[in-house]
């Protein structure tokens, strides 16, 4: 058996990041959220989001009760670097492998992220993963129309400072 771990929302302007764990053989799925504060100053600059992703990933593996000899496949994205290091330290290199996560795992994690951003009032574009640039501008325009929601933006990215909406904001 295998536990697959993926993330969703890392490259988006809104909300935090969903980290999901899925065991296909039993169709068990669990997820948690790296809160948006980890993508704002001062935590973003220190890459605290990686540490938090590692903590949550470890928690998810425990929640799914990793079985003897079971393998963990974790996505290659840099947000998961600390998570992979931690899991390798705990379970060993032979059980933890970095992979490109696709299929049902990716869909479940993506759906969880979409549910979370809908919970803050944002309706994502249907083709957001195929058109990242278009999705960014859609989110940006939504934030501009709802400035009280800037608190849900990943405002720590340095390039965002060129936009008036993010100047002087926390992050």
Angle at CA of residue 115, ends 113 and 118, nearest 5°: 110
H-only helix segments in the chain: 48-63, 81-91, 103-119, 132-145
Q: Which of 169, 164, 168 minimizes the C-alpha distance to 153?
A: 169
pLDDT in tens, 70-114: 999 999 999 999 999 999 999 999 999 999 999 999 999 999 999
In the chain, where the domains are located: 2-101+109-166
| pLDDT at 148 (0 to 100) | 94
Model pTM above 0.75:
yes
Cα–Cα dist 105/113, whole Å: 13
Tokens linked to 29: 């799925």
Residue 42's pLDDT band (cuts 50, 70, 90): very high
CATH architecture classification, 2-101+109-166 = 2-Layer Sandwich (3.30)
Residue 171 has what pLDDT?
Answer: 46
């Amino acid at each position: 058996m295998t536990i697959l771990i993926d993330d969703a929302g890392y490259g988006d302007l809104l909300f935090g990041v969903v980290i999901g764990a899925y065991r296909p053989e039993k169709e068990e799925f669990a997820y948690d959220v790296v809160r948006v504060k980890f993508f704002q100053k001062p935590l973003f600059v220190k890459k605290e989001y990686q540490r938090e992703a590692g903590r949550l990933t470890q928690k998810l593996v425990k929640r799914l009760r990793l079985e003897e000899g079971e393998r963990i496949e974790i996505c290659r994205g840099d947000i998961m670097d600390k998570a992979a290091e931690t899991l390798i330290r705990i379970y060993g290199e032979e059980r933890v492998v970095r992979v490109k996560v696709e299929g049902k795992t990716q869909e479940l994690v993506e759906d969880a992220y979409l549910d979370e951003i809908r919970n803050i009032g944002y309706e994502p574009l249907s083709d957001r993963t195929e058109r990242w640039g278009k999705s960014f501008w859609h989110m940006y325009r939504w934030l501009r129309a709802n400035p009280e929601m800037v608190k849900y933006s990943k405002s720590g990215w340095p390039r965002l400072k060129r936009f008036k909406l993010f100047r002087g904001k926390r992050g």
